[in-house]
Amino acid sequence: MREIVTIQVGEFANFVGSHFWNFQDELLGLASDPESDPIFRNHNLDMDVLYRSGETQQGVATYTPRLVSVNLKGALGTMSSRGTLYNEGSSSRSDSSATWFGDVDTQRSEPRKRNLFLQSLYEEEHVVGKEKAKEIEDKDIVGCLDEEVECWTDFSKSHYHPQSLYELNGLWMDSQAFNNYGIGKDVFSEASRGEEICDRLRFFVEECDHIQGIKFLVDDSGGFSAVAADFLENMADEYTNVPVLLYSVRTPMSQMSSKKTVSNKLHDAISFSRLSSFCKLFTPIGLPSLTGSKASKFLNLGDEKPYRSSAVYAAALHSSTIPFRMQPTSSDSSEVSNSMDVNTLVQLLTGRGRQNIVAILDSAMPAPTLAGKQLENTLLTSLQALTPEVTEDVEDNQAVESMCILGALRSEDKEALVSEVKNAVDASYEQATTKGKPLFCNLSVSRCPLPVPLPFPSIFGNLVGRKGEILSSPVSDSLYRGSLDVHSIPVATRWRSSSAILPFLEIRMGNLEKLGIQWGAMGSDVVRAWGFGREELQEMRENLSKMVSELNPQFFESSESD
């Protein structure tokens, strides 16, 4: 067994994670459904990589994500921090209250009501026979979610283990107030929170037979960046040989301001410097706007709703990590090709000459059909960078790429064979200009497409068909199509280690130098209030300059001459 433990820290990271686990839950359901499409029943994916088997105290078997989720108090909505399967319960009052004999002032807020989707899940599992209320229709569920989602549990269809969901007690603020590195700097170490979080991670790691890596998602747009950095530093001491794949994820709304403040710029620089020092591969995800980007060509996306934007990022996360749980075979099967583990990916992207740990993630959803010459002409150009502040069409003959394609279609209603996908991708690179050719490209293929669960947002345009095929003419007058109209989607994703990431690195290095380190810097009071001294900032700047020089040797030479 080659297990992966997943960590989600912060609000938007949990939005992305909620969609991700919905995909996995849907795959599990389709694999066990005798009436589902055979392509889902024979997907050749080992779900034990992500899930753990267990049982409740009543002896009921459970199958839950190997997950630690961290968020602010109250961010779970209607869900209990104990999850929904294990009903052992816990006292709502601290034991210490028994030693207090003074007056007690109790303040209670009204409990949140379940939306239609959560009501339907509850009734499906708990209400039987005549007690069952009027059937809730799927179309009403889809409509309510598009309008009413406020937190990530509002659309989650997964069950979680009691050790999975951790709330940061004692912080009486919402995510808008928890908005910079300094405000989260001591949160992990205070009130035994760090110890409690690490205990939960240890619970999942210690039951693994042979852990292949940790997948770590963090909403790094505010105070959760500091919480994650301290968590990662602790992990680095305890799990020295376990590779960490770190994804920093941001909602477009967190980047809406046209002009970043000094505090914003310093936060970005310090956050990246700290987080990147504790992982094997760092992948920034989160465009300032998805609307109008290449990603929205066949999708209708609204930047203002994290429920929508997180779905796009979760689909890319699912696709790019599929090779980690492909069933390993002596030769490629008819369903999957080229499985790999986390360490193999890390070595592929960071160990070929340049020691660059910052990767770009590209995605195409839906991926184009293979019919005729369509894929050769459009696959590479249809890929949209989900990583911000990168250079388009950069010439880099040392670039290394790892691509994964799920559920590619040969024509509008026919799934492509693995061999056909390989041939088409080879042809697309052959036709690419020298400027667009990497030094090396790895390709993994799965015939199993991305399933579209009921609570997936209605983001598909009217040129997207039932199997995610791209149609030549609109299929309906509706601009928004969801899970009732589109049942699966072909997805292509690509990790890139490329000098195209240089602007992302240079912006952070420059802002740290200009705003935080130089004498009389505008942000000197900000970084001092956050608890950083000049020497610590200079060390961060040195690390950033090493990253830049790995991709641009001329930078190191010019720095030396200065």
Contact partners, residue 210, CB within 8 Å, separation at least 6: 1, 2, 3
Q: Could you tell me which residue, 12 or 328, shows the higher pLDDT?
A: 12
Contact indicator for 216, 245 with CB cutoff of 8 Å: yes
Q: What is the homologous superfamily of the domain 1-84+137-250 according to CATH?
A: Tubulin/FtsZ, GTPase domain (3.40.50.1440)
Region 516-525: mean pLDDT is 94
Among the residues of 339-407, which ranges form H helices? Answer: 342-350, 374-382
- pLDDT given for residue 256 in this prediction: 58
Q: Is the pLDDT of residue 106 over 70?
A: no
SS3 19: helix
Which of 239, 311, 314 is CA-nearest to residue 280? Answer: 239
- pLDDT given for residue 332 in this prediction: 58
Q: Is the pLDDT of residue 97 over 50?
A: no
- Residue pLDDT, tens place only, 205-228: 999 999 999 999 999 999 999 999
Q: Could you tell me which residue, 84 or 60, shows the higher pLDDT?
A: 60
Name the DSSP class of 45: B
Strand-pairing partners, residue 7, are: 68, 216
**For residues 243 and 245, what is the distance between their CA atoms, to the nearest angstrom?**
7
Q: Is the pLDDT of residue 96 over 50?
A: no
Q: Could you tell me which residue, 133 or 244, shows the higher pLDDT?
A: 244
Which of 143, 152, 158 is CA-nearest to residue 457? Answer: 143
- pLDDT given for residue 462 in this prediction: 92
Which of 525, 520, 521 is CA-nearest to residue 512? Answer: 521
Largest Cα separation within the chain, whole Å, is 82
Region 146-158: mean pLDDT is 94
- pLDDT given for residue 87 in this prediction: 60
Tokens of 540: 């961060």
SS3 299: strand
- pLDDT given for residue 21 in this prediction: 98
- pLDDT given for residue 89 in this prediction: 45
> Considering the chain, what is the average pLDDT of its residues?
88
Q: Could you tell me which residue, 559 or 402, shows the higher pLDDT?
A: 402
- Tokens 């109008």 belong to 292
Q: Which of 232-236, 326-330, 546-550 is predicted with the least confidence, judged by mean pLDDT?
A: 326-330
Strand-pairing partners, residue 68, are: 7
Peptide bond into 366 cis (omega under 30): yes
Domain ranges of the chain: 1-84+137-250, 323-497, 503-551
Percent of the chain whose pLDDT exceeds 90: 66
Contact indicator for 402, 494 with CB cutoff of 8 Å: yes
Question: How would you label 459-479 residue by residue, b for 16+ Cβ within 10 Å and e otherwise?
Answer: bbbbbbbebbbbeeeebeeee
**For residues 180 and 349, what is the distance between their CA atoms, to the nearest angstrom?**
31
**What are phi and psi for residue 260, nearest 5 degrees?**
-70, 145
Tokens of 397: 């003959």
Region 360-364: mean pLDDT is 96
Q: How confident is the model at residue 432 (pLDDT cuts 50, 70, 90)?
A: confident
C-alpha distance from residue 518 to each of 17, 163, 205, 558 (Å) = 39, 45, 43, 19
- pLDDT given for residue 309 in this prediction: 94
- Contacts of residues 298-302 at CB distance under 8 Å and 24 or more positions apart, as own/partner, are 298/366, 298/460, 298/461, 298/463, 298/464, 298/470, 299/365, 299/459, 299/460, 299/461, 299/464, 300/458, 300/459, 300/460, 300/461, 300/479, 300/480, 301/459
**For residues 532 and 514, what is the distance between their CA atoms, to the nearest angstrom?**
15
- pLDDT given for residue 94 in this prediction: 38
**For residues 425 and 403, what is the distance between their CA atoms, to the nearest angstrom?**
10
Q: Is the pLDDT of residue 58 over 60?
A: yes
Q: Is the pLDDT of residue 93 over 60?
A: no
Percent of the chain whose pLDDT exceeds 70: 89
C-alpha distance from residue 323 to each of 25, 78, 173, 213, 214 (Å) = 18, 34, 39, 13, 15
- pLDDT given for residue 397 in this prediction: 84
Region 166-186: mean pLDDT is 87
- pLDDT given for residue 152 in this prediction: 96
Which of 325, 324, 457 is CA-nearest to residue 402? Answer: 324
- pLDDT given for residue 165 in this prediction: 97
Q: How confident is the model at residue 154 (pLDDT cuts 50, 70, 90)?
A: very high
Q: Could you tell me which residue, 367 or 130, shows the higher pLDDT?
A: 367
Q: Is the pLDDT of residue 92 over 80?
A: no
Region 435-443: mean pLDDT is 81
Strand-pairing partners, residue 481, are: 460
CA 183 to chain centre: 24
- Residue pLDDT, tens place only, 291-304: 877 777 899 988 88
Q: Is the pLDDT of residue 110 over 80?
A: no
Region 184-204: mean pLDDT is 95
DSSP 388-399: SS--TT---TT-
**For residues 168 and 176, what is the distance between their CA atoms, to the nearest angstrom?**
15
